[in-house]
C-alpha cells in the first residue's frame, strides 16, 4: 500500500455526497480551522477556502461523484488527492461514523502521510473510458439473458443444447425454436430474446461512437496492442483506457495486482486468512485479459498447444488464470519497452 506524502500549511478533507458535502480544514499541527456542511458547489467551496488558498491540499474518498471536484481543483491548480475507498480503514473502523468524523479523518490521513491514493483519471479521456465500461455492462447483460434461456431449457430436460458464439437475436430464435416447452416458459424465453434483440441494436451504435470519440490516447501504444491477434478494436481500447499510461505502474507486479490476475494471499503464522480484498483492482482489465486468454488460442496455434499443456498439468480453471496473468505481463512489457507481440517468446518464457 502506498501513501501520499505532501507538505502544505493546510489540509482539506471532504466527505462527498450527491447534494451535500462536509468540509474539514486542518493546519499542519492538526488544529481545526474550518468544519461545516455545504451544498456540492465548487464556487461556494472556493469562497469558504479562500483564507487557506495560499498553501492547501484537498482530498476526498473515491465515491461515484468525485469528477466535478477533481476537475475544479485541476482548473484552479489546487493539489487534489483521491482516496482509495477499500483502503480507508480509519474511516470505516471507528465505533462512531458520520460525515463530520469522516471529513476530519480524511484531512488527518492526508496531514500525517497515511492517505492511500487512488488514481484520479484525467478529464479528457474519462468520458470515453466510461462509455467503454457501459458497453461492457451491456455485453454482460446480453450474456446473462442468453445464459438464462439455457437454464430454462436445462430445467425442462433439454440437455443437448448447441454451442453458441455471437449469433444475433433472429438466429437465436431459430436455434431455440425446435425445443418444445410450456407456454409460460416460452414467454420467458421470448422476453429474454427481446432484450437480446434490443441490445443487438444498441451495441453496434455504441461501438461506433467509441471508435469515433477515442482521440486522446497514445496512438503508438494502441498500435502495439493491435499487434496481438485476439485484441479487436474495442478490447484493445478497453485495455488502453483502463491503463491510461503504463508509467502509473513502476513494476510488473503492481500492474498484475491492479489487473486482478494474481492470487490474493493473506496469511498469519502459516495459516491462510481467506481471499478477502480480492476486489481491490480493476475488474475491466481482469475481464479483458480473460477474454484475451480465450481469443489468443484461435489465432496462435503455439498458444493453444501451450494452454493444453497447462490444462493437463493444472486443470482448466487454473490454466486460464495463469494464461490471463501471462498476457497481462506481456502487455505490460510491450507498452513499457515499446515492442510488438512475439508469440514464440510468449510461449517460451
Q: What is the pLDDT at residue 263?
A: 82
Residues 132 and 200 in one domain: yes
Final residue of a structural domain among 83, 112, 141 = 112
Centre a 10 Å sphere on the Cβ of residue 66 and count the other Cβ atoms it contains: 19
Residues 225 and 301 in one domain: yes
Residues 137 and 185 in one domain: yes
Residues 176 and 202 in one domain: yes
C-alpha 256/C-alpha 328 separation (Å) is: 6
> pLDDT digit string (tens) for 121-178?
999 999 999 999 999 999 999 999 999 999 999 999 888 888 877 788 888 888 888 8
Please give the model's pTM, rounded to 2 decimal places. Answer: 0.90
Residues 235 and 344 in one domain: yes
The share of the chain scoring above pLDDT 70, in percent, equals 96
Rounded to a whole number of angstroms, the distance between the first and last alpha carbons of the chain is 29
The distance from CA 122 to its chain's CA centroid, rounded to whole angstroms, is 15
Confidence of residue 102 (pLDDT cuts 50, 70, 90): very high
Residues 78 and 138 in one domain: no
Q: What is the pLDDT at residue 269?
A: 60
Mean pLDDT of 42-70: 95
Q: What is the pLDDT at residue 19?
A: 93
- The Cα angle at residue 195 between residues 194 and 196, in degrees rounded to 5: 90
- Whether 91 and 105 have beta carbons less than 8 Å apart is answered as yes
Number of domains comprising the chain: 3
Q: What is the four-CA torsion angle of 153, 157, 161, 166, rounded to 10 degrees?
A: 10
* CA 99 to each of CA 116, 117, 343: distance values in angstroms, whole numbers, following the listed order: 19, 20, 53
Q: Where in the sequence is the domain holding 332, given as residue range(s)?
A: 219-263+279-348
269 lies in some domain: no
Final residue of a structural domain among 54, 86, 112 = 112
Residues 224 and 205 in one domain: no
* CA 158 to each of CA 49, 92, 143, 161, 179: distance values in angstroms, whole numbers, following the listed order: 67, 49, 19, 7, 7
> pLDDT digit string (tens) for 263-297?
877 666 667 666 666 778 999 999 999 999 999 88
Amino acid at each position: 500500500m502506498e501513501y501520499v506524502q505532501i507538505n502544505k500549511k493546510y489540509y482539506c478533507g471532504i466527505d462527498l455526497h450527491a447534494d451535500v458535502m462536509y468540509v474539514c480544514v486542518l493546519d499542519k499541527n492538526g488544529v481545526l480551522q474550518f468544519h461545516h456542511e455545504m451544498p456540492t458547489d465548487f464556487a461556494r467551496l472556493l469562497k469558504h477556502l479562500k483564507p487557506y488558498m495560499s498553501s492547501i491540499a484537498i482530498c476526498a474518498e473515491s465515491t461515484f461523484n468525485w469528477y466535478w471536484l477533481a476537475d475544479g481543483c485541476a482548473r484552479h491548480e489546487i493539489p487534489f488527492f483521491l482516496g482509495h475507498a477499500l483502503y480507508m480503514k480509519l474511516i470505516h473502523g471507528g465505533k462512531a461514523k458520520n460525515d463530520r468524523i469522516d471529513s476530519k479523518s480524511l484531512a488527518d490521513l492526508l496531514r500525517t502521510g497515511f492517505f492511500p491514493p487512488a488514481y484520479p483519471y484525467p478529464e479528457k479521456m474519462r468520458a470515453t473510458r466510461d462509455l467503454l465500461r457501459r458497453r461492457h455492462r451491456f455485453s454482460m447483460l446480453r450474456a446473462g439473458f442468453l445464459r438464462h434461456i439455457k437454464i430454462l431449457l436445462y430445467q425442462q430436460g433439454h440437455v443437448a443444447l448447441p454451442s453458441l458464439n455471437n449469433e444475433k437475436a433472429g438466429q437465436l430464435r431459430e436455434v431455440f425454436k425446435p425445443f418444445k416447452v410450456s407456454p409460460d416458459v416460452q414467454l420467458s424465453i421470448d422476453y429474454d430474446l427481446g432484450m437480446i434483440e434490443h441490445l443487438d441494436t444498441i451495441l453496434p451504435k455504441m461501438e461506433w461512437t467509441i471508435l469515433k470519440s477515442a482521440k486522446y490516447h497514445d496512438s503508438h501504444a494502441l498500435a502495439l496492442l493491435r499487434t496481438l491477434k485476439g485484441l479487436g478494436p474495442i478490447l484493445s481500447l478497453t485495455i488502453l483506457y483502463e491503463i491510461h499510461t503504463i508509467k502509473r505502474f513502476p513494476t510488473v507486479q503492481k500492474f498484475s495486482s491492479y489487473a486482478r490476475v494474481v492470487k490474493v494471499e493473506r496469511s498469519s503464522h502459516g495459516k491462510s486468512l481467506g481471499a478477502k480484498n480480492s476486489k481491490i483492482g480493476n475488474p475491466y482489465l481482469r475481464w479483458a485479459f480473460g477474454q484475451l486468454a480465450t481469443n489468443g488460442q484461435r489465432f496462435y496455434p503455439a498458444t493453444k498447444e501451450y494452454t493444453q499443456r497447462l490444462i493437463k498439468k493444472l486443470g482448466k480453471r487454473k490454466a486460464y488464470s495463469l494464461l490471463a496473468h501471462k498476457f497481462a505481463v506481456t502487455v505490460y512489457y510491450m507498452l513499457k519497452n515499446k515492442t510488438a507481440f512475439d508469440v514464440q517468446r510468449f510461449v517460451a518464457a
